[in-house]
Amino acid sequence: MVEDPLRVVALNAQYVFVGLLAILFLATGKWRSRNGRVAVVAAGFSALLALGMAHLLADIWARPRPYVTHPDAHLFIPPSHDTSFPSDHATAAFAIAVAILLRHRRAGWIALGLAALLSIARVAVGTHYPADVLAGAAVGTAAALIMWHPSVRGPLHRLAEWSGGVYERLLKKATDEFRPLPGS
C-alpha cells in the first residue's frame, strides 16, 4: 500500500525538480527573483559536479544493488544496471536542493524536503541501501557548498544575470510579435 506512492516518487521526482527549476528561472513580473535564477544556475553546476564525484566513488566502491545481493528482496521499480553506491538520484537531488537553499530559502526548503522524500523512496522501493542515499546526500551537499565558495559564486551570479537577460530579451521579442498593432 505505502509502496505505491513511494514508487511514484522514486521514479518521477526528477520531473518535479525540473519543474521547480523552470519556475525559478522563467518567472517574470512580480514573481521574478534574481536569487531564483542564480539558484538555478548554481543547482545545474552543483548537480554536474556532484554526479561526476559520485561516478568516481562508484568506480572505487562498486557495491551491488540490494536486490542483487538479496535476491529474495522485493523490488518495486525496474532494476538498474549500475552500482548502488552512492545513489545518483540522492546525489543530484541534494546538490540541487542545497544549491537552491543557499540562494532562495523558500524554494530551497521545498527542494530539500523533496530530496529527502526521494531518498527515502529509493530505499523503500528496494533499489538502494540507506548508506547509498546518505552518501549521495553528502556528495550532493559538498558539491553545492563548493559552488557557494566566493571564488565560484561571482562567476555563477554573472552567468545567471547574463542568461536571465537573454531569456527576458527573447521573451520581450516574442510577446512584442504577438501584440496587436495600435488601431487594429
pLDDT at 95: 97
CB crowding 78-113: b at 16 or more within 10 Å, else e: eeeeebbbbbbbbbbbbbbbbbbbbbbeebbebbbe
Alpha-carbon distances, residue 112 vs 11, 19, 127, 140 (angstroms):
17, 15, 21, 11
Domain residues for 102? 3-67+84-166
Calpha distance 9→117 (Å, rounded): 8
Alpha-carbon distances, residue 38 vs 19, 75, 130, 147 (angstroms):
16, 38, 31, 11
**pLDDT: which is higher, 64 or 92:** 92
Q: What percent of the chain has pLDDT over 90?
A: 41
Does a structural domain hold residue 131?
Answer: yes
Does a structural domain hold residue 176?
Answer: no
Q: What percent of the chain has pLDDT over 70?
A: 90
Does a structural domain hold residue 161?
Answer: yes
Does a structural domain hold residue 73?
Answer: no
Write out pLDDT tens, residues 106-128.
Answer: 889 999 999 999 999 989 888 88
Sole residue written with cell 568506480: 59
Question: Does position 93 have pLDDT exceeding 90, yes or no?
Answer: yes
| Rounded (10°) CA dihedral 31, 153, 118, 122 | 160
Does a structural domain hold residue 36?
Answer: yes
158: number of Cβ within 10 Å: 12
Calpha distance 154→166 (Å, rounded): 19
pLDDT at 69: 74
Does a structural domain hold residue 35?
Answer: yes
Does a structural domain hold residue 12?
Answer: yes
Does a structural domain hold residue 74?
Answer: no
pLDDT at 25: 85
Cis status of the peptide bond prior to 71, with omega within 30 of 0: no
What global pTM score does this model have? 0.86
- For 1, the 3-state DSSP assignment is coil
Closest of 52, 25, 43 to residue 144, by C-alpha: 43
- Number of structural domains, the chain? 1
Instruction: Name the band, by pLDDT with cuts 50, 70 and 90, for residue 179.
Output: low
**pLDDT: which is higher, 100 or 72:** 100
Contact criterion met (CB below 8 Å) for 22 and 36: no
Calpha distance 171→65 (Å, rounded): 46
pLDDT at 75: 65
Write out pLDDT tens, residues 29-77.
Answer: 666 677 888 899 999 999 999 999 999 999 898 887 777 777 777 767 6
